[in-house]
């Protein structure tokens, strides 16, 4: 299955879930719609006011023959990143490699273990 087919399938599934929510739990449906709208507004603001900060140099959609749930984007001109993930212990960081390993673990936990 290609990335485009996978993306279309996910969009269709999300639309079906939202339709079911609209019919069964309007409050949750409204909250999800509101959250999506707020995320879109934040993204639009950042793109409009800080276009150079949003520049993506490369995107990887699959690793080997496996599609990534969250594609990896590469921003070669970045000097710093901030990851808000308070569940982990960062006292053991000893350098760049340990930070990269931690970020990979966070990604695996959320995408594979949690299925997000």
Q: What is the pLDDT of residue 34?
A: 92
Residue 76 confidence class, pLDDT cut points 50, 70, 90: confident
Helix, coil or strand: residue 115? coil
Pseudo-torsion of CA 19, 23, 27, 30, nearest 10°? 30
As a whole number, the mean pLDDT across the chain is 83
Spans of all domains in the chain: 3-75, 84-115
Interatomic CA distance for residues 87 and 3, integer angstroms: 31
Residue 1 confidence class, pLDDT cut points 50, 70, 90: low
Q: Which residue has the tokens 């969250």?
A: 70
Residue 85 confidence class, pLDDT cut points 50, 70, 90: low
The CA–CA distances, whole Å, from 97 to 12, 43, 48, 104 equal 39, 30, 34, 11
Mean pLDDT computed over 25-34:
89
Q: What is the pLDDT of residue 63?
A: 85
- 46 sits in which H/E element: helix 26-49
């Amino acid at each position: 299955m290609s990335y485009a087919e996978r993306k279309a399938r996910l969009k269709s599934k999300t639309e079906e879930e939202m339709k079911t929510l609209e019919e069964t739990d309007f409050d949750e449906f409204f909250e999800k719609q509101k959250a999506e709208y707020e995320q879109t507004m934040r993204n639009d603001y950042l793109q409009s006011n800080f276009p150079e900060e949003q520049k993506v140099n490369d995107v990887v959609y699959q690793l080997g023959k496996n599609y990534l749930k969250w594609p990896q984007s590469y921003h070669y001109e970045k000097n710093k990143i901030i990851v808000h993930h308070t569940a982990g212990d960062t006292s053991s960081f000893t350098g760049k490699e340990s930070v990269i390993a931690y970020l990979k673990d966070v990604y695996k936990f959320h995408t594979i273990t949690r299925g997000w």
